[in-house]
Chain A
Amino acid sequence: MFGLGIVKGLWTTGKHFVQSYLGHTGLREGIRPDPTLGGLFTVQYPEEKLPMFPRFRGALMHLRDAETGEPKCTACGLCVRACPNDVIAVDGEGKGRDRKVTAYHYNLARCLFCRLCVEACTFSAIEMSHEYELASYSPDLVWGLEKLLAIGDKYGVHEAGKAWE
């Protein structure tokens, strides 16, 4: 019949309107499980967050030794040399095997999240975290050792590169 297309269109949008109230709602890991399923699947961002995939490269974090709880970093400077953007500055004390990191500056404003520093590290002391909410109202974008260690503690990781194996 002539003009049936309009009725069909109205039926479709009307169905979706009703389904948005009666159908499935809420987060299903950010994916509509079945394309024909009606309902709302928008992630309500500040309240709901999508889980990041394992190899996601967020801000840098420092890792602790699983037994002693000390930072694994020896301030060797390999990450400093690997970095293309001059993001990292590091300082340490002691000689040889006893060398320990005392200060570590990670300039977030310049970091391009390439993970070259992590690949350069021979001590498995740093890794990329899943932190992605990095915007800040104050210009304190140079993160110190404590903050990087705190992120590492939050993720509870002790070995770098697990997701890349």
Chain B
Amino acid sequence: MDVLNLLFVNLREAITTWLAGFLPMWAAEAVVHFGVGLILVVIGLLAVMVLTLGERKVIGRAQDRYGPNRWGPWGILTPVADAIKMLTKEDIVPEGADYWVHLLAPMCAIIAAVLIYAVLPFGEGMWGTDLNIGILYIVAIASLGTIAILMAGWSSNNKYSLLGAFRVVAQLISYEIPMLLSIVAVVLLTGSMSMVEIVRQQSVPHLITMPMVFFVYLLAASAELYRTPFDMIEADSELVAGFFTEYSGMKFVMFFMSEYFNLFAMSAIITTLFLAGWRGPILPGYVWFFFKCGVVIFFYWWVRSMMPRIRIDHLLNLAWKFLVPLALVNLMVVGLVDKLIADGIVQDVVLLAANIVVAIVVIGLLAFASRKTRSKRLQRITARR
């Protein structure tokens, strides 16, 4: 089993030794590191191909349709056809646009998306680099994407692009706070920011021990990825495209790809933080990792097939009036439990119990609040009559 589990790690070792035979050690290391970087980008590109097709298929099936099935068996060549179509499109720069910013924005977006892959642990020993501030690095890099979006909206010389970009920035910055607070809860429990260390310490997945933290993170992540129900930014069925209205051809593809790069990266982060990463019985680590990522992504597709989009003010209300307080309460609960009870199975059970209490209180409060607003609305209606 260990042979399969460490297959890629051993392969990397073997290649390094082989290269060191006729190259100085530093050069061999450099070549191998370059190769690893290339593989990480290829993983991202493959993820884009699989996810674009898979999303359309899954949502089609959920709506009693077949989804794309024309090109190749079961339509598996559809991404290739998409790529050819996109590559042959004309690249249009609008009149009066800020040419350089307009050109750099999609590059920034995709660079921000690709850089995250450097610290994702795909399996035992399978990572670009094990930074001791891995999760902080991810949060920092992910914010770069916001700047790219603002650049795109600003440089397009189109007021609708700019409005779209403002919306994105409002949404992304609002949702970054509950997301960060959830990450802090995990880091507090683990005592490390390294992605590898977080996985190593999860003998019980954090999904089971702190479901409320997971819930907040899942919601915030879906807003960060502009996925339904928080896809105000793109709103396929209402707006033209939001901030990338003025983009066409390869520049548009870069924004599109960065979205799917981010989707896979975010599912990998969720897997690492809450689903115990590559850990799992029998199968090799990387199989477990990709399986868990797939489950997370499928969940996002599933939600997309069913939820309507929510309004922009509701969106921000949800972030500031619900998710941020809830994330703070979670953080407090996790901190208290971590301080009062020593690590071990007792801590896990107490943490789960505390989370369930928080969940019950939250649902109760929400039900109370909704009943109150409903009765108020009723009073208003009757008063008008």
Q: List chain A positions with a Cβ less than 8 A from chain B.
A: 1-3, 6, 9-10, 12-14, 16-17, 19-21, 38-42, 44
Contacts and interface: CB of A to CB of B under 8 A. Distances in A.
Given A2-B367, A16-B63, 17 more contacts: A2-B366, A3-B366, A13-B62, A13-B305, A13-B306, A14-B302, A16-B61, A16-B62, A17-B61, A17-B62, A17-B305, A19-B64, A20-B61, A20-B62, A20-B64, A21-B61, A42-B64
B370 interface: yes
30 contacts: A1-B363, A1-B367, A2-B364, A2-B367, A3-B363, A3-B366, A10-B303, A10-B306, A12-B306, A13-B62, A13-B63, A13-B302, A13-B305, A13-B306, A14-B302, A16-B61, A16-B62, A17-B58, A17-B302, A17-B305, A19-B64, A20-B61, A20-B64, A21-B61, A38-B64, A39-B64, A40-B64, A40-B66, A41-B64, A44-B66
Contacts, number: 48
B307 interface: yes
A42 B302 contact: no
A16 B305 CA distance: 10
B65 interface: yes
A98 B54 CA distance: 68
Contacts of A39: 64
A72 to B, nearest CB: 43
B66 A42 contact: yes
Q: Which of A1, A12, A20, A44 has the most CB of B within 10 A?
A: A20
Contacts of B364: 2
Contacts of B61: 16-17, 20-21
Contacts of B363: 1-3
B31 to A, nearest CB: 45
A14 B303 CA distance: 10
Contacts of A40: 64-66
Contacts of B370: 2
Nearest to B367: A2
Interface in B333-370: 363-364, 366-367, 370
Contacts of B63: 13, 16
B366 A9 contact: no
A10 B302 contact: yes
A10 B229 CA distance: 13
B34 to A, nearest CB: 42
Given A9-B306, A9-B307, A10-B303, A16 B64 contact: yes
Contacts of B367: 1-2
B321 to A, nearest CB: 15
B331 to A, nearest CB: 22
Contacts of A16: 61-64
Nearest to B308: A9
Nearest to B299: A10
